[in-house]
Structure formats: structure tokens, C-alpha cells
Amino acid sequence: MRAFGCSLILASVLVFCVSSAHGADAGFAKEIQPLLAAHCIRCHGAEKPRGNVNLAVFTDDKSVAKQPKLWRRVLKQLETREMPPEDEKPQPTAEERQRLVAWIKQALIVGKADPGPAVVRRLNRTQYERTIRDLVGIDFNSGDAVGMPNDTNSEGFDNLANGLDVSPALLEKYLVAADKVLDRVLGLPDGTPSKENFNRPQAKQACDKLLYVKPSDKLPKREAAQQIIHSFARRAFRRPVSAAEIDRLMALYDLTEKRGDRYENGIRLMFKAVLVSPRFLLRVEQDRDGAAESYVVNDHELAVRLSYFLWSTMPDERLLQLADDGKLAYPDVLEQQVRRMLKDPKARALTDNFGVQWLQLRKLNDARPSQEFFPTFTNGLRNAMREEATIFFDKLREEDKSVLHLLDADYTYVNEELARHYGIADVKGNQMRRVELKPEHRRGGLLGMAGILTMTSHTSRTSPTLRGKWVLDVIFGTPPPPPPADAGLLKEQKKGEAPKTFRELMAQHATQNTCAACHRKMDPLGYALDRFDAVGRWREGSDLDTSGQLPTGEKFNGPRELKQLVLQRQDAFAQNLTEQLLVYALGRELQPCDENTVRDIAAELKKNDHRFGTLVLEIVKSYPLRHRRNRAADDLE
């Protein structure tokens, strides 16, 4: 299997077309349809399909390949024996299960290597801010300064191309932001410095760098302006610029000169035009005339893909230079660059943008533990909780550690307040630092982090359901469908009613047929974590029932045994992380054609001790990141 994965990767780098390996269409009606009919369609048929999953519409392999997300979920649930539910009779035999699994895997494989649909990506707010910072050279939160809307997508990443619309209102923000940036760097149009509060020495330095030549006796103003805009436009457009492009910009300069305006205002007007140009705000990769097959992206396109993936910003001079020289795609150069970029502080963007969104850490801001029950919960503690998870992830990146540390580790990062919260002695001061964990601390890995435990709790109590859902969703990438519209919430205690334990109330709710299938998957995972209270503190007490059993049969009790279970399923975790990071890197949802890519990267990851750097490098080397194709008529938006 390993050799197979390895050779496939080689093949995908060298060869654009891999021949088709499937031809099971004829078998569908005979082999597969009866199995689906016997074990699936009763609940997942056309009539009120459970969880909105209707498998009756699939009639051949092709139709399956068109719904890869759904079938990947089916695949996972078959493999983990979550489906069909154990109390559904008859159960498929082991052979039948195997046959289904093998068929789905095969159906999901598309014959020809395909980089997926071409997309035009607008810079999202974060990328825009960082790009402005690097392009102009000042620390300036341009998005905040003009109140740019967030590209928040509460589910999924905020850099997915199809979520990044361009509205008139947003374009107006770009125009204003451009003015504000240029006010700071070049001063106001009347020649006075901006009155706003900012780092002036830095702005001066940035200005000197941008206006790197000065008009003199030997260098006429117009020529100086032309050199300046040439260098600026090349960096802003992230590629070589044509003479025609420069001429058009210089027309603006000429206008200011005609009106007798200041030299700096001529530069300013050109800069402004660049900063609101579609060539700056959109990442456009141009189609190759008449190319019917996929083709390798050019070096500048590769540099841009690379830098927005790893840094959320424009390529630096080194990358641009390598692209200019046509060397970036050399395998050794590329690997060297990826390693360099991962070590660079700018790669913190992977944590801030990918890590934080994947782990859903923004939800921690919404946690509102009641003051009465949790008087020690302060904003400072909330920040430390967030920092713990982000630093933990960031160190994986920086120190190229195994991603399995996210599941279990013998260290974490705390400051005094968080250490007290965890009962870890001898940590003084507000600074977050690494501490070694001992078994009695009962922490280590995401599932022991107070931030994650807090954001999956309610105001005054834990929520086993939310915690279980988080594990399914974030760790394994198998989120349960949202609750049906008629699902009730837990009824508050009525007067005169015999008190029920929380677990009894939950059990009552979870026996309703519509709710049971999902709750049986979520709740046991959450109950195992009930040793941690709603702000993630360890709690003792014999009245806590933290035992659970999954629909797949595994029994466990408490956080430690849950962690064992999760570690047993590390392959599913690694594959999920691969998928998530690939989505983020490509800026689009995965397609059937990405199935092989994911499998190969996950295999390579496993072979290399699950190192984060391997994951990133394999994604960079992967077929969809290195190739593109012209837009096909049947590509979905």
C-alpha cells in the first residue's frame, strides 16, 4: 500500500493523465443497488430521507462521483460501522460491507488527473490587509480603518473563492482604504503629513523604499515616476507588467502634470489606481488559448498560490525573483522555499487563518459562562485559553512536529492564570510558556484544552452534545446534520415535577426517533468529557457518569479512554486534517478529482511521522496545486 501511494505521487507529478482504473458501471445494478436497497434506502430513500441523505437517486458510478462529499461521508460511516445503525435488521454481512466500501472507493476515483475547476479568487479581508502591509511596508490595519466587512463564513473557511463576492460597497471601501494608506506613507495631497496617529519613522522608511529613485538633473521627473510605478505594479500584480500597462498608469501621472499638481500627487494617483485595480484585488490566472488538457501553472502563478497558502499575503522578493528566473518549480528549489516559508514568522498566518478556523476557535468569543457559577472566568482567562490552542498549533508548524500531538501530547502552553485553572503549580506571570504535563494534570491535546471545552458549553452547564459534535466535526470531519426543524430543546424543570438528572432529560430527548441517530453518535463522546466543567476545569465526584458507548460498539469511560479511542482512529483524523488543509490551500471545496490527492498526501504524511511540514509540502507538490485547466462548461460555481 505504501509503495503504491508513493508511486502514485511520483506519477502525479510527472504525468498529467493517469489512466482509468474502473469500469464497474455494469455491476452497479447487480452488485450494489440490492445492497443499498436492503440496508440503506428504507431510511435514506426519496420519502422523507433521514438527515436529508437520499441514496435512492444514485443509479450508476457516475452519479456517485458527482456527489463526492456525501459519498465520502457514507464511506466513513460504513467503515466505522456507524451505519447502518446496530439496531437495524438485517445488518449487512462483513463481505457485503466490504463490497460496498470497495465500490464507493472505486466510484470516487476519477480516471484522469484533474486539477479541478478554475476559480478567480478575490483577496479576502485578511489577505488584503496583509498584502497591503507587505506591499506598502507599514503596519496598518486597513480593514479596521475603513470598517471593511469580514468575510466570515460560519462554516468553512473564509478564503473559499465562491464566497468572495465583489460588491459596490466593498469596492468603495477599497478606494477609501487606498487613500488612507497613501495618506500615511506619502502624506496628504496638499503636502502636509497626515494628522492621524501612526508609526511615522516606519512610514518614512516605507516611503523612501517605494519612491526609491528621486528626480534629479540626470533623471527627469517623468522617468523617475515611471521607474517607481513599474516596481510597484510588478509587486502589486505579483507578476511582470507589460509596457502597455505602465503606459496606462503613466497617463494618470501626465494628467496631474498637466494640471500643475505636485510630483508626489502624480505618483499617488498611480498607486491608488493600482490598489483598486482588479489585477491587484483579484487573483486571476489566465486561461491558455485552446488548451483542452490541464497544464502546469507558470512560476508566477505558483508563487502566488504558495504565498497565499502559507502566508496569506503576496510573494516576497525571493519568490518573485525565482519566478522571474523560472526556477521556482524545480523540485529541490520548491521544497527549499516551502521549508523557508514555513519557518518565516509570516507563516503564523497558517495558524491564525487555517488553524483558528479549522478548530472553530472564534466560537470561544461567544462563550458566556455565568458569573455566579464561574467567578474565576475572566476575559484574561478567555484570552489565555485561546492562546493555548493557537500557540500549540503554531509550534507544530514552526517546529515541524507530528500533527498527532493535537490528539495527545505531554506538553502544553499556559500562563499563571491558566495554570491555576488547570491546577499546575509554579507558573508565574502573564506570559504563555511551555509546560510539561504529568498524568495527574489530565491534560494534553485538544480534548484537554479549556478553550475548546468552554466554547462547547452552555452558560451554566456543559453540553455533551456540543462537545460530541465538535469531536465529530473538527477531529473526524464527519459533522452530524443540523437538527430537524421540529426538534425541541430541553424543557426546563416544571414546578412540582420530580427532579431529573441532566442525563435523564437528555436521554428522554434522544429517544425521539428523529433525534436518536445523531445523538447516539455525539452524546457518548461528550459525556466522556464531562469530567471537565463548563469552563474546562477538572471536577471530581462520584455522581458523574462519564461512561459511553458508540453505535459502533466501542465502550469507554472518561477523558483518558476517549483519548485512546480517538488515537485508535488517527488515520481518520489525519485524512480529515489533510482534506481541511487542502481545501484551505486551494480555496475551493474538494471535488471528486481530489480524491486521489487526499489519499496520497495522507499516506505520505503517515510515512513521515505525521510531520506538519510533510503535510504542507505534499499539498504544495500535489496535482491540483501545481496545475490548472481552462474552465469547462459543466464546472459548478
Partner 1 sequence: MMNAPISRRSMLRGAGAMLALPFLEAMLPSRLGAATGEAKPPVRLGIFTVTGGTVHESWRPKEAGSLSKLPSILEPLDGVKKDMLVLSGLSHGGRSEGLNGHEHCGYLHLTGAPLVKKDKGKRYAGVSVDQAVARAIGDQTLFSSLEFGATNHETMYSWRTPDTPVPYESNPRLLFERMFRGRKPVVPNWHRRHTAEAAQVRKLSRSDSYEQSVVDLVLEDARSLQKNVGKADQRRVDQYLQGVRAIETRIQFIESCLRVEALDAANPGPSRLHLPEKALPEGNEFWKLWNAAFHDPEKHAEYIRIVADLLVLAFQTDSTRVAALAVGSDDAMFPGVVTVGYERHCHTLEHRGNAGRVEDADPIAREALRQIHSWYTELFAEMVQKMKQIDEGGSTLLDNSVILYTSYMADGGHGTRNYPVALVGQAGGKLKTGKHLAYKERTPMSNLFVEVMNLMGVRTDKFGDSDTAEQRAHEGRLPGLI
Restricting to residues 259-278, which ones interact with partner 1 according to CB under 8 A?
259, 261, 265, 268-269, 272-273, 276-278
Q: Could you give the string, one character per residue 436-455, with x where binding to partner 1 holds by CB under 8 A and - elsewhere? A: --------------------
Element (H, E) at 581: helix 570-586
Query: Whose Cβ is closer to partner 1: residue 54's or residue 402's?
Result: 54
Q: How far apart are the first and last CA of the chain?
A: 35
Alpha-carbon span 516 to 523, nearest angstrom: 10
Which residues inside 521-560 make contact with partner 1, applying CB under 8 A?
none
State the nearest-atom distance from the C-beta of 483 to partner 1, in Å. Answer: 8
State the nearest-atom distance from the C-beta of 204 to partner 1, in Å. Answer: 18
Query: Whose Cβ is closer to partner 1: residue 194's or residue 547's?
Result: 194
Interface stretch with partner 1, choices 252-260, 420-428, 435-443, 613-621 (CB under 8 A): 252-260
Query: Whose Cβ is closer to partner 1: residue 30's or residue 258's?
Result: 258
Residue 122 binds partner 1 (CB under 8 A): yes
State the nearest-atom distance from the C-beta of 463 to partner 1, in Å. Answer: 12
Record the cell numbers describing residue 415, joined without a space. Answer: 500562563
Residue 590 binds partner 1 (CB under 8 A): no
Which residues inside 4-63 make contact with partner 1, applying CB under 8 A?
none
C-alpha dist (Å) from residue 198 to 148, 184, 358, 551, 597: 19, 8, 33, 58, 46
- DSSP β-ladder status, 411-414 and 295-296: unpaired
- Residues 44/55, Cβ–Cβ less than 8 Å: yes
Residues 6+ apart with CB under 8 A from 612: 396, 397, 400, 401, 402, 403
Q: Which one of residues 155, 332, 540, 634 is an interface residue with partner 1 (CB under 8 A)? A: 155
| Dihedral, 455, 460, 466, 468 alpha carbons, nearest 10 | 100
Query: Whose Cβ is closer to partner 1: residue 57's or residue 282's?
Result: 282
Interface stretch with partner 1, choices 112-120, 293-301, 393-401, 618-626 (CB under 8 A): 112-120
Alpha-carbon span 604 to 618, nearest angstrom: 8
Residues 6+ apart with CB under 8 A from 81: 97, 551, 552, 553
Record the cell numbers describing residue 187, joined without a space. Answer: 502624506
Q: Could you give the string, one character per residue 388-407, with x where binding to partner 1 holds by CB under 8 A and - elsewhere? A: --------------------
Compute how many residues bind partner 1; rule: CB under 8 A. Answer: 73
The closest alpha carbon to 361, from 454, 292, 423, 481, belongs to 454
- DSSP β-ladder status, 547-549 and 121-122: unpaired
State the nearest-atom distance from the C-beta of 451 to partner 1, in Å. Answer: 18
Residue 505 binds partner 1 (CB under 8 A): no
Which residues inside 165-204 make contact with partner 1, applying CB under 8 A?
165-173, 175-176, 179, 188-190, 195-197
State the nearest-atom distance from the C-beta of 472 to partner 1, in Å. Answer: 17
Residue 246 binds partner 1 (CB under 8 A): no
- For 164-198, letters b (16+ CB in 10 Å) and e give beeeeebeebbebbbbbbbbbbbbebeeeebeeeb
Interface stretch with partner 1, choices 22-30, 155-163, 223-231, 425-433 (CB under 8 A): 155-163
Which residues inside 341-370 make contact with partner 1, applying CB under 8 A?
366, 368, 370
| Dihedral, 405, 411, 416, 422 alpha carbons, nearest 10 | 80
Query: Whose Cβ is closer to partner 1: residue 28's or residue 470's?
Result: 470
- For 371-381, letters b (16+ CB in 10 Å) and e give eeebeebeeeb
> How many Cβ atoms from other residues are within 10 Å of residue 604's Cβ?
21
Alpha-carbon span 184 to 78, nearest angstrom: 59
Which residues inside 616-635 make contact with partner 1, applying CB under 8 A?
630-631
Record the cell numbers describing residue 363, joined without a space. Answer: 466560537
Q: Could you give the string, one character per residue 316-345, with x where binding to partner 1 holds by CB under 8 A and - elsewhere? A: ------------------------------
State the nearest-atom distance from the C-beta of 224 to partner 1, in Å. Answer: 19
Q: Which one of residues 213, 251, 507, 567 is an interface residue with partner 1 (CB under 8 A)? A: 251
Q: Could you give the string, one character per residue 78-107, with x where binding to partner 1 holds by CB under 8 A and - elsewhere? A: ------------------------------
Query: Whose Cβ is closer to partner 1: residue 90's or residue 147's?
Result: 147
Interface stretch with partner 1, choices 32-40, 154-162, 353-361, 547-555 (CB under 8 A): 154-162
Specify the residue for cell string 462520584.
Answer: 542
Query: Whose Cβ is closer to partner 1: residue 428's or residue 495's?
Result: 495
Q: Which one of residues 32, 107, 119, 359 is an interface residue with partner 1 (CB under 8 A)? A: 119
State the nearest-atom distance from the C-beta of 273 to partner 1, in Å. Answer: 5
Query: Whose Cβ is closer to partner 1: residue 241's or residue 447's?
Result: 241
Element (H, E) at 193: none
* 412: three-class secondary structure by DSSP: strand
Query: Whose Cβ is closer to partner 1: residue 54's or residue 265's?
Result: 265
State the nearest-atom distance from the C-beta of 202 to partner 1, in Å. Answer: 15
Alpha-carbon span 591 to 578, nearest angstrom: 14
State the nearest-atom distance from the C-beta of 636 to partner 1, in Å. Answer: 11
The closest alpha carbon to 106, from 592, 472, 597, belongs to 592
Query: Whose Cβ is closer to partner 1: residue 459's or residue 568's?
Result: 459
> How many Cβ atoms from other residues are within 10 Å of residue 410's Cβ?
14
Which residues inside 202-231 make contact with partner 1, applying CB under 8 A?
none
Residue 164 binds partner 1 (CB under 8 A): yes
State the nearest-atom distance from the C-beta of 574 to partner 1, in Å. Answer: 25
Alpha-carbon span 189 to 20, nearest angstrom: 63
Query: Whose Cβ is closer to partner 1: residue 20's or residue 286's?
Result: 286
Q: Which one of residues 27, 49, 85, 156 is an interface residue with partner 1 (CB under 8 A)? A: 156
Using CB atoms within 10 Å of the CB of residue 47, give its burial: 0 to 12 exposed, 13 to 18 middle, 19+ buried.
exposed
Record the cell numbers describing residue 571, joined without a space. Answer: 488515520
Which residues inside 457-496 make contact with partner 1, applying CB under 8 A?
459, 482-483, 485, 492, 495
